[in-house]
Chain A
């Protein structure tokens, strides 16, 4: 029986637990709202993962881990475009540029980050292919799933809470004017400052996330921090069309004076109850 379904009905935590307990070998393919993630396992352990949008190459992973510069990655692609990950790894180790330990740590960190992204998906079609293994030229690892499941569960809880706090990324933010509070005196991280610099009633949170290259979870974390610190509040973005439900006028047609008179009649009546 094929192992397939929707994350909405069978969560990623349950899936990883199943793979771990049953010591499965194969690849889990999850089709999310806008991308695909592939996660490979060998005997119930995480061995490889790739976000469909990334090429998943070792050069890209090392660049993300800040072990290679953009110029070095460019040079590798230009001069040795066809080089496999295993060949590149050996080349870098043999030239004493990077250690085997650093390569494995960078790959592990990348693979875990890809799996962690799945914890923020509330739905997505998944299937487990027993026969699909990582390409032979890719470097694989062996990571126990227990810690990933525990950390992932924490992230899921955080994600649910953040979604509760910030239900829509289509809202904008504005600074709250509070006497005695100066933003310059608040200790913010570089990433928080980047977000703060885009706060404007015209910019939706989604737009800020896209501009600052943040995932939904990352932007929600930062925005939530700014809200609970009392620095910003959520507002409807300037120019955002109102939902159609508000199209029906609340007050009967008439001049402003007639409408004000109607409200005054309501006030008089309520006072007299």
Chain B
């Protein structure tokens, strides 16, 4: 059985667990704990080690989706989770501009771990306070070459679109390598 993996990362409460839950064929194996930090008390629980989802591709191939812990004090897990990844997705909460800088730092950190393709997903685009994609691109300082996609993590179709765009990028990289 062959296995490949992708990593879903992003700041605290960006929607990583929901993203994986939307497409995983198993209940997401989540290591959530009650929030201890007052500043991060936006929700009751957060991922402390990782989320783990699975998509069986065929009899011989399985895709694993790993969600990184959102709180910075668990960032020692990031490097471990990034090992051997096909590519990664950075989730950003479109309605919380105060997390944009953190998202950019996470993106840079993961880029440093491995030169694998990545896409950035602007999650919670259905939120009334969501920023416009182009405004977010400027705020996040993403070059026009970086794939930046609208997303609603609870909507399977937009999640599929993000995953597909990452796979297309991986394919493009492989073809570039041949050229």
Contacts and interface: CB of A to CB of B under 8 A. Distances in A.
Interface of A: 164-165, 167-168, 176, 227, 230, 233-234, 236, 242-243, 245-246, 248-252, 256, 259-260, 262-267, 269-271, 273
Contacts, number: 93
A212 B63 CA distance: 49
B55 A270 contact: yes
Contact of B115 (A165, A242, A262, A270): A242
A273 B61 contact: no
Interface in B108-157: 108-109, 111-116, 141, 143, 156
A270 B114 CA distance: 24
A270 B143 contact: no
Given A242-B115, A246-B114, A256 B167 contact: no
Contact of A269 (B57, B113, B175): B57
B-side interface mostly = helix
B13 interface: no
Interface residues of B, number: 42
Interface stretch (B28-36, B39-47, B79-87, B90-98): B79-87
Contact of B167 (A165, A176, A248, A263): A263
A120 B83 CA distance: 33
Contacts of B23: 270, 273
B161 to A, nearest CB: 9
A258 to B, nearest CB: 10
B84 A263 contact: no
Given A260-B171, A265-B61, A243 B141 contact: no
Contacts of B164: 267, 270-271
Closest 6 CB pairs of A and B: A246-B114, A248-B84, A269-B57, A245-B83, A250-B86, A252-B2
B178 interface: yes
B121 to A, nearest CB: 14
A256 B174 contact: yes
Residue from A236, A256, A262 having most chain B Cβ neighbours under 10 A: A262
B113 A246 contact: yes
A211 to B, nearest CB: 23
B26 interface: no
26 contacts: A167-B105, A167-B109, A227-B141, A230-B141, A236-B112, A242-B115, A243-B113, A245-B79, A246-B83, A246-B114, A246-B115, A248-B84, A250-B84, A250-B86, A250-B114, A251-B86, A260-B171, A262-B4, A262-B61, A267-B167, A267-B171, A269-B56, A270-B163, A270-B164, A273-B156, A273-B160
